[in-house]
Amino acid sequence: MGVNEQYFWSNEGTAIDKWHSYLPVYDRYFAPFRDKVPRMLEIGVQNGGSMQMWRDYFGPDAVLFGIDIEPECAKLNGLAGQVRIGSQADRAFLKSVIDEMGGVDIVLDDGSHQMSHIRASLQTLMPLLSENGLYFIEDLACSYWGSFGGGRGRPGTTLEMAKDLIDDMHHWYHDGHVNWPEFKNMIGGMHIHDQILLLDKASVPEPKRTMRGTDRPVWKGPPTGGTNGSAS
């Protein structure tokens, strides 16, 4: 059992509301940041319990900020981290928070789950995320539910956006059309877990292919300048 799992299941204090499957995902992807004093922004504070879990995990020097549209969350400011009141769809507000943080390494969107809000936050924050940073979007089930602007196969949902981003990541190999040009060559990897979309921020260079070794008894290699054929 991972560190965050242990904290969650032993917690008897401030409430933390999580799907069970999320906990090992946190431990898997947060581990490389644990000793690096990360700057983390959580969208959606609720009772503040998850911010306490992040504080316990990342330590006293980590820069932890949470935002929420609920004014009552202001009373949680200064406990496990800093809390600012505002909408995740307000781009100027988001930028002001990142400025206050001095940059951001991890974004965890557990906010309104409205499709338009998720897109607005991603379009604002992904370009501001540090190189090798992580961007989590939680509760992907909302992409199927009409009350959140979702619907199976409906354009504009988070899951449909993820499908578009897969094509965008591979624009080198098709007609070159990019659905989300603001993220072009900015996403180094994408991970889908049960109800979680995770994006890796990385500057992506043009792919290059090399065949090393002179002994080629079966396949001699691609034609000069070509990129077709099996690679092994």
Catalytic center residues: 113
Residue 224 pLDDT: 61
Tell which CATH architecture fits domain 3-201.
3-Layer(aba) Sandwich (3.40)
Q: What is the pLDDT of residues 9-53, one digit of tens each?
A: 999 999 999 999 999 999 999 999 999 999 999 999 999 999 999
Please state the rounded mean pLDDT for residues 81-98: 99
With cut-offs at 50, 70 and 90, classify the pLDDT of residue 96.
very high
3-state SS assignment for residue 213: coil
Other Cβ atoms less than 10 A from the Cβ of 43: the count is 26
Residues 6+ apart with CB under 8 A from 29: 134, 191, 198
Residue 231 pLDDT: 44
Please state the rounded mean pLDDT for residues 228-232: 44
Q: What is the pLDDT of residues 117-149, one digit of tens each?
A: 999 999 999 999 999 999 999 999 999 999 999
Q: What is the pLDDT of residues 160-171, one digit of tens each?
A: 999 999 999 999
Task: Take residue 224 and report the two structure tokens written for it.
Answer: 């000069």
CB 6 within 8 A of CB 32: no
CA atoms within 13 A on the CB side of 210: 2
| Percent of the residues in the chain that have a pLDDT greater than 70, as a whole number | 96
> How far is residue 129's CA from residue 80's CA, in Å, rounded to a whole number?
22
With cut-offs at 50, 70 and 90, classify the pLDDT of residue 222.
confident
Cα 71–chain centre separation: 25
> How far is residue 156's CA from residue 115's CA, in Å, rounded to a whole number?
7
> How far is residue 147's CA from residue 177's CA, in Å, rounded to a whole number?
31
Per-residue pLDDT at 229 exceeds 90: no
Sort residue 222 into left (φ over 0), alpha (ψ -120 to 50) or beta. Answer: beta
CB 37 within 8 A of CB 62: yes
CA distances 216 to 212, 226, 232, Å, are 10, 17, 11
Rounded mean pLDDT of the chain? Answer: 95
Q: What are the residue boundaries of the structural domains of the chain, listed by start?
A: 3-201
